[in-house]
Each structure stands twice: as C-alpha cells, then as structure tokens.
Amino acid sequence: MNEAVFSQIAMLVLLTGLITWMGFIVWDLAKKSKAGRFGTITLFIVLGAGVVGFIVKTVLVEIMDL
C-alpha cells in the first residue's frame, strides 16, 4: 500500500467519522435547547448544508477530472 492509497482510505474513514460526530453534535444541540421537531429539522438542514456542499464538490471534481 503506497501513501496515496493510504491517504485516500484514511480521508474517507476520518471524514465519515467527522460527519457522524457533527450529526451527533447537532442532535445534542437540538435536544439540549428543546428545539422541537421543526427546530431540529431546521438545524440539520442548515448545519448539514456544509456537508452536502463538500460532497457535491467532491463529486464534481471527480466528474470533471480536475
């Protein structure tokens, strides 16, 4: 296994863990602030938009082969 393959696997695993951890943080924030159903959905949509943007950027870079 060379460094490039290791870096790609590590980035995939660690980013998945980071996204999961961020989801837990948003859930805990909504629970502690008693946001309710609408507030929780809003928090996940707004704070999850960054994750969606990162995923879209990654897909576009792979499609365009940059």
Q: pTM for this one?
A: 0.70
Question: Taking a C-beta distance cutoff of 8 angstroms, is the pair 30, 39 a contact?
Answer: yes
Residue 48: the pLDDT is: 84
For the chain, count helices (H), then strands (E). Answer: 2, 0
Give the C-alpha distances (Å, rounded to integers) separating 52 from 7, 34, 42, 48.
22, 25, 15, 6
Residue 8: the pLDDT is: 87
- Judged by phi (left if over 0) then psi (alpha if -120 to 50, else beta), residue 65 lies in left
Residue 27: the pLDDT is: 93
Could you list the mean pLDDT of each consecutive 10-residue stretch along the chain, which spans 66 residues? 90 90 92 92 89 88 84
Residue 66: the pLDDT is: 65
